[in-house]
Amino acid sequence: MIAIVISACLVGSPDVCRDHRIPLAQDVDLAHCAMFAPPHFVKWAERYPNWKIVRWHCTNASVEKI
């Protein structure tokens, strides 16, 4: 399974940053992850309005270390 890893920083404290994982459907592979990722950014940003996405990437969901 593939996951999107969003790196985001607090709007009010840009030095406080965290990585957040969003697992994708099982039929999505790394080659197609970029096509499926943008709609997840919108949903994530609505859920966490105090955070700003600074970068993202796709990875295997089984990988523990980001």
Q: Tell me the three-class secondary structure of the chain, residue by residue.
A: CEEEEEEEEECCCCCCEEEEEEECCCCCCHHHHHHHCHHHHHHHHHHCCCEEEEEEEEEECCCCCC
Q: For 26-43, what is each residue's pLDDT tens digit?
A: 888 888 888 889 999 999
Question: Which pLDDT score is estimated for 65?
Answer: 52
Q: For 40-66, what is each residue's pLDDT tens digit?
A: 999 999 999 999 999 999 998 775 554
Would you say the pTM of this structure is higher than 0.85?
A: no
Question: Which pLDDT score is estimated for 66?
Answer: 47
- Nearest residue to 42 (alpha-carbon basis) of 1, 2, 6: 6
Question: Which pLDDT score is estimated for 61?
Answer: 72
